[in-house]
Amino acid sequence: MTALQKLRHHQGLLVGLILFALFAFVLGEVISSRDRIFSSDRTTVASVGDNKLGVEEYRAMINEFMEANKQYNVGYGMAAEQVYQNWVLQNVREEQYAKAGITVGPNRGVMNGVLALDEVKQLFSNAFGEVDEAALLQYVRSVRSALENGNQDAQNAWNAWLAMKERGRNDQMAAQYSDMVRAGVNVTDIDEKMEYAYQNNQVDGKVAYVPYSSIDDKDVPVSDAEIDEYVKKNPDGFKRPETRDIQYVLVPIAPSEKDAKEVEDKISALLNDKVEFNTRTNTTDTIYGFARTENDSVFVNANTDAGTRYQGRYAKEFANADMEKWISGASKGSIYGPYREGDAYKLSKLIDTKQMADSVSVSHILISYQGNQVMQDASITRTKDAAAALADSLLNVIKSGKAAFDAVAKEFSDDQTAKENGGKIGWTVYSGSAQDVENFLFFNPKGSVKVLETPMGYHVFRIDDVKNVSKAYKVATITNYINPSRESAAVALSKAQALAAKNPSVEEFVANAAKEGYNVIPVVDLTILHTEFTGIGDQSSIVRWAYEKGRKVSDTKVFDIPNNHVVAIVSGMRPEGLASAVEVRAEVEPLIAKDKKIKIIEAKFKNAKGSIEEIAKAAGAQVMDATSLTLSTPIIAGAGRAPRTVGTMFGMNEGQVSAPVSDETGVFVATVTAKREAPATEDYTAEKNILTEVFNANLGTLLPALEKKADIKDNRVKIEKMYN
């Protein structure tokens, strides 16, 4: 991380490391620590072998995950799924690591894993793109020191560091395990020779072929009873959990035109001066409006809505096309508006214009001091006054030409990353977040040098180069959002309640919603674990309501979410069990129909005898040449893929006729006219490369295979219903 990045986010290395804990990062430390805390839960959410995930532990991890990711609006359902999947994965891995005897050293081994993390590379790389371990350790020491000194903000950063160490350990162990597996998957000489034969041995012959398409689907109808029977005989692929179907509409809590007019009138009034009686002086005072105020920042911040405070930033482009056109010809003090932009009315005033660079290349020399809370470097012993004096002295030396900037930086700078590169930070763009620094960097010519104080200490900044200098504008904008009044909110609630109350059936709900102009959104096959609704996020309250005891189809309820009421109706309920014929017809019907067609075609071949031509004639089949067939490409010209038929032909003798073979596109009877083995070779390089690529690709299925093989029990549905 450059010093300028640190400057913009000097609270943010604490915050930045917290981001490392997001999603899977945070789970490693959470899981490993919780395993030690909770060990006697009576209720088990899940288990992998002898390792059990207790309900209290499960809930705690979900809460911690949601807290760590609250800025991403992660809901309960997503958090629960991530916690469960990562817990299972970690325990499956740990089980395999133990069997393989894999360990990682607590110090060097773990640190190697941490240094390989992408996020560490991004934040702690030096000018040459190498990870600066010393800079990372210095930061860790500073966090620990802050924690020991009672800085509570440092606790989150420390927890994130522990999570990074756990992830580094896990990554190192995973790499060792992967290397062991890869080393054990070798291509042998026998493999190479078999692959060579698979690719190059050939067979010629003829086939009598009846395609499935020769029988019309309507001639092999499939009943619901047949589908049900198929499902019962093949249950593994058709087991269904208990589910609910929901249909819902969104009733917006929207401001009325009256609400919008009130906001417009309110913001318009800010343009004008007003007279107020001063009770302290018993006189009337004139309070300047936006047009004449002498303190624009105070006026704007006193009258703008939360989240839109005046920052004093400059800009060259504006999203509002009309404002862009206005500002190009405006003079200082000119006002634009009131104008409506989305859900707000705005007033904008041109405060200043300057020539500004789009980007600048910067170098600096940082002179920090003892006790600096951002640097927290115990090796720095100078006082703050001494740091200021040294920075001024270095500035004079550089300006006088007695010493080169890069030489001074290498000798004196406390920014260990930049000093190695002569103080160079590199190119940066304007953000408006560090105003004193950026007001110097972006509004002065190349070669300018100045001392500036920041929370890190005193900097001697130099502008090394600039790009695209052009006119920029400082605009102060008052923003007043158009929010629904109590009257508008009451109207929306009344509409939602009315829609929920008058629907004795799902069909009438849909009809009434359409009549009112609402879009009905279906959500089908909801399990109790499924709480994410497309477009409106986590709706665990709706799902839990749908699973309450006594709930029935056509029950309705109004739920509140930001800016909307959700009117939900239960439109379907299915118990746990096998899928119905209606649900799986599209999947199963073609399979049953194919079996029926096979029986019809095989019956045609049953009594057919003689040569392939005679058999074809008796069965009403077409005779096709099948030449130069290989096992690697089992395609018969005119009939498509036929792997079973080609495999059968490779197992036959010349002149032999096969029994009917049901294949991908139809039923075949085959005869072999010639078989050719590939010429002998000593070079199997191509075959080895093919098999190596296949083996490497299959390594990606290792973890899923281990999970499938592991003794995993998932009781989440039971637990969620128990606590519903």
Closest CA to 360 of 441, 470, 440, 436: 441
- What residue segments make up the domains of the chain, in order of their start? 3-184+713-717, 202-238+581-676, 243-254+484-575, 258-356, 359-467
Which of 16-20, 431-435, 526-530 is the least confident region?
16-20
Asked if residue 392 has pLDDT above 60, the reply is yes
Higher pLDDT, 721 or 599: 599
> What is the per-residue pLDDT across 150-185, written as a single tens digit (0 to 9) for each?
877 788 888 888 888 988 998 899 889 888 888 888
More confident residue, 135 or 679: 679
The pLDDT-based confidence of 6 (bands split at 50, 70, 90) is very low
Band (pLDDT 50/70/90 cuts) for residue 128 is: low
Residue 2 has pLDDT above 60, yes or no: no
Two structure tokens written together for 170: 């896990």
Helices 24-37 and 55-68, packing angle to 10 deg:
150
Take residue 163 and report the two structure tokens written for it.
């999570």
- Residue 242: how many CB atoms within 10 A of its CB? 15
Residue 197 predicted with pLDDT over 80:
yes
Q: What is the DSSP string of 404-422?
A: -HHHHHHHH-S-HHHHTTT
Report residue 45 as tokens: 């959410």
* Residue 42 binned pLDDT confidence (cut-offs 50, 70, 90): low
Does residue 69 carry a pLDDT above 70?
yes
Q: Is the pLDDT of residue 255 over 90?
A: yes
The phi, psi pair for 52, rounded to 5°, reads: -120, 145
pLDDT at 225 over 80: yes
pLDDT at residue 16 tops 70 = no
% of the chain beyond a pLDDT of 90: 64
Task: List, in sequence order, every residue forming a beta bridge with 459; answer none if it has no partner.
Answer: 366, 452
Instruction: Place 378 in a pLDDT band, splitting at 50, 70 and 90.
Output: confident
Average pLDDT of 223-229? 97
**CATH classification (class only), 359-467:** alpha beta
Q: How many CA atoms lie within 13 A of 111 on its CB side?
A: 9
Helix, strand or coil, per DSSP, at residue 483: coil
Q: Which of 70-84, 342-356, 373-387 has the highest mean pLDDT?
A: 342-356
Name the average pLDDT for the chain. 88
- For the chain, give the number of residues: 724
Helices (H), 101-188: 108-115, 118-123, 133-148, 153-184
**Cα 291 to Cα 324: distance, rounded to the nearest angstrom:** 20
Q: Please report the pLDDT score of residue 704 as a whole number.
A: 84
> Which residue stretches of 547-610 are H helix?
581-605
Scan for tokens 């020769």, then name that residue: 214
User: Which pair of structure tokens corresponds to residue 244?
Assistant: 């609910």
Contact between residue 593 and residue 222 where contact means Cβ atoms under 8 Å apart: yes
For 483-492, the pLDDT digits (tens) are: 999 999 999 9
Confidence at residue 19, expressed as pLDDT on a 0 to 100 scale:
33
Dist. CA 258–CA 261, nearest whole Å: 5
- Kindly report whether the global pTM for this prediction surpasses the value 0.85: no
Characterize the bridge pairing of strands 51-54 and 44-48.
antiparallel
Handedness of CA 210, 215, 217, 223 (dihedral sign): negative
Handedness of CA 402, 407, 408, 409 (dihedral sign): positive
Dihedral angle sign, alpha carbons of residues 629, 631, 633, 638: positive
Q: Indicate whether 17 pLDDT > 80.
A: no
- The secondary structure of the chain in percent helix, strand, coil, rounded to multiples of 5, reads 45, 25, 30
Cα–Cα distance measured from residue 644 to residue 75, given in angstroms and rounded to the nearest whole number:
49
- Establish whether the linkage from the previous residue to 338 is cis, with ω within 30° of 0: yes
Give me the helices (H) in 577-684, please. Answer: 581-605, 612-619, 643-650
Residue pair 495/365 in contact (Cβ under 8 Å)? The answer is no
What is residue 35's predicted lDDT score, i.e. its pLDDT? Answer: 44
pLDDT of 103 over the 70 cut: yes
pLDDT at residue number 28: 44
**Mean pLDDT score, 226-233:** 96
* Predicted pLDDT of residue 257: 95
Angle between helices 24-37 and 76-100 in degrees, nearest 10: 70
Span 250-279, average pLDDT: 93
Tell whether the model's pLDDT for residue 1 goes beyond 80: no
> What are the tokens at 315?
């800009």
Token couple for 56: 């209290």
Three-state secondary-structure class, residue 21:
coil
| Per-residue pLDDT tens digits for 571-612 | 999 999 999 999 999 999 999 999 999 999 999 999 899 999
- Span 106-119, average pLDDT: 87
Strand 661-662 relative to strand 243-252: parallel, antiparallel, unpaired? Answer: unpaired
Contact status, residue 198 vs residue 551, Cβ threshold 8 Å:
no
Instruction: Judge whether residue 438 has pLDDT over 60.
Output: yes
Locus of tokens 């102009």: 517
